[in-house]
Amino acid sequence: MDLQETANVIAAGETALGIELGSTRIKAVLTDKNCRTIASGSFEWENRLEDGIWTYPLALAWEGIQSCYSQLAGDVEARYHTRIESIGAIGVSAMMHGYLPFDKSRQLLAPFRTWRNNITDQAAAELTDVLMFNIPQRWSVAHIYQAMLNGEEHVKDIAFLTTLAGYVHWKLSGEKVLGIGDASGMFPIDEKTGSYDEEKLALFDQLELAQRYPWKLKDILPTVKKAGEAAGTLTEEGARLLDVSGKLRAGSLMAPPEGDAGTGMVSTNSVRKRTGNISVGTSAFSMNVLDAPLRAVHQDIDVVTTPDGAPVAMVHTNNCSSDINAWTGLFREFADLLGVTATSDQIYAKLFEQALKADPDAGGLLNYSCLSGENITRVEKGRPMFVRSPKSRMNLANFMLTQLYGAFAPLKIGMDILIREEQVKTDVMVAQGGLFRTPVVGQQVLANTLGIPITVMETAGEGGPWGMAVLAVYAKYRPEGQSLSDFLDQAVFSDAKTTTLQPQADGAKGCGTFIERYRKGLEAEIAAGDALKD
């Protein structure tokens, strides 16, 4: 479309807005009803470790959302000489899991506990045994049960428990709902009913601790909605909260709020059975849409759903790119000292390209990228650690490869369970995230690490907020009866540009040597957490 056509679309409100609250950035993307991006805005934020809890202040979430929207609206006015007064559909997504409990007066009862906390080991283990279903430490039900085990006073007053996406949606629409993908990170879902598993809810409510409280779990959880269903409308209060300038009118259709895993599946066209995707960022996770149930319960494999309710095997790691980002920041400081002017993307590109020149096993170097605890490797307290022996081949190329290997290692350990023990197969595995903005390098290293072909789309550096905008378009504008997978194939990705890289024999063998060394050294990483206190 030309500028005038786009301006007309904006003026008519034939648009969709996707908002995503990620680990390091809040971002908003405005699209037309054909899912073409019109404008965007972003805001950087970081989690904080306060009193042993990884958290974000909710006031900062709203500052970020309002800043993103203001940037986006300003961009629209500058480029298209029109202003946003109405939006056809809005969707909110955010980091999955975590703990946001509210009382009947809508007051937050405890600081937001994010997915990054691994403080619910006892609860997760007990619930897994009782429910006969893997309950990860990140899940909301593990957090609430751990609070019960801890005897935390606020638990008796809980009237509503939700996720970050569910909270923002609630404030914008007044509706206590959640998309099925995000809900599946709160409590197990029954694929047949498309809602929480009633038998497992009953088992929870029968627990001795649960019977001490005045609420039933089902009554405090959000109502579950599938992709395409209406999940309320933007209220006057929500419009003022989103657009502080007061120009935006109420009435936008609200799509079911989703988790970042769900938007990652949408933005990579990975919602059909036997498709999969990998998202890498502060954390990393792979999503494998199952065509048959898993044969066993695995502590390191979550069973969640696509935004339209299909079962997914999820491998989630708490850590991925944080340590790479820290080292890259150090190199940037050095460049500044030398008077070298370079953008962040240029620095990442130069450093990553060196990894292609490395020894396949990274020269005997070793890196643990654990800024926080890591459940898959049983690391309770994260302490990023770089190790080399006297015989290691220390150079920049090997250093950068070991950074990438270290970032992907926990994901590799979890994926081996799916590939080797469960024989889960995917027809295509699409990767997305900022690490893939530099062409080839991260993609090839990931293919070598996992031993499977990895596909990257042209839009690999972004995804989540645009994926949420796509879900908003699907809720508002799709043809009657069209499935989500057909909508993505036919309306969104019909001419998608992709590249696929196969594992390299030497690289896969070298990474295998690195992973063997990584496993042997985990005892030292765990000991570092015990020895080096906060």
Residue range 466-475, pLDDT digits in tens: 999 999 999 9
Mean pLDDT of the chain: 94
d(CA 176, CA 254): 12
**If you average pLDDT over residues 520-534, what whole number do you get?**
90
Q: Which helix (H) or strand (E) holds 6?
A: helix 3-12
**If you average pLDDT over residues 259-267, what whole number do you get?**
92
Per-residue pLDDT tens over the stretch 348-406: 999 999 999 999 999 999 999 998 888 889 998 889 999 999 999 999 999 999 999 99
Q: Which fold has domain 1-96+163-175+229-267+463-503?
A: Nucleotidyltransferase; domain 5 (3.30.420)
Per-residue pLDDT tens over the stretch 195-245: 999 999 999 999 999 999 999 999 999 999 999 999 999 999 999 999 999
Dihedral pair phi/psi, residue 4, rounded to 5°: -70, -40
Helix 464-477 with 260-267: angle, nearest 10 deg = 80
Q: Which helix (H) or strand (E) holds 165?
A: helix 164-173
pLDDT given for residue 327 in this prediction: 95
d(CA 241, CA 524): 48
Name the residue with higher pLDDT: 49 or 514. Answer: 514
Name the residue with higher pLDDT: 169 or 529. Answer: 169
**How many whole angstroms from its chain centre is CA 152?**
28
SS3 state of residue 314? strand
Residue found under tokens 């805005």: 41
pLDDT greater than 70 at residue 530: yes
| Token couple for 487 | 């909508």
Per-residue pLDDT tens over the stretch 18-36: 999 998 899 999 999 999 9
Question: In sequence order, which residues have a C-beta less than 8 Å from that of residue 391 and are 6 or more positions away?
Answer: 364
SS3 state of residue 92? strand
SS3 state of residue 52? coil
Q: Which helix (H) or strand (E) holds 63?
A: helix 58-80
Helices and strands per DSSP (H, E), number in the chain = 17, 23
Task: Catalogue the E-assigned strands of 298-427.
Answer: 302-305, 311-317, 366-368, 385-387
pLDDT given for residue 461 in this prediction: 47
SS3 state of residue 456? strand
Report the share of the chain in percent with pLDDT over 90: 84
pLDDT given for residue 299 in this prediction: 87
Dihedral pair phi/psi, residue 248, rounded to 5°: -75, 130
Cβ atoms of residues 165 and 182 within 8 Å: yes
**If you average pLDDT over residues 440-468, what whole number do you get?**
87
**If you average pLDDT over residues 260-271, what whole number do you get?**
92
pLDDT given for residue 428 in this prediction: 87
Cβ atoms of residues 401 and 358 within 8 Å: yes
Name the residue with higher pLDDT: 27 or 283. Answer: 27
Report the share of the chain in percent with pLDDT over 70: 99
| Token couple for 212 | 């001490």
Closest alpha carbon to 425 in 454, 452, 455: 452
Band (pLDDT 50/70/90 cuts) for residue 344 is confident
What's the Cα-to-Cα distance from 129 to each of 123, 153, 473, rounded to whole Å?
10, 26, 40
pLDDT given for residue 195 in this prediction: 97
Whole-structure pTM value: 0.86
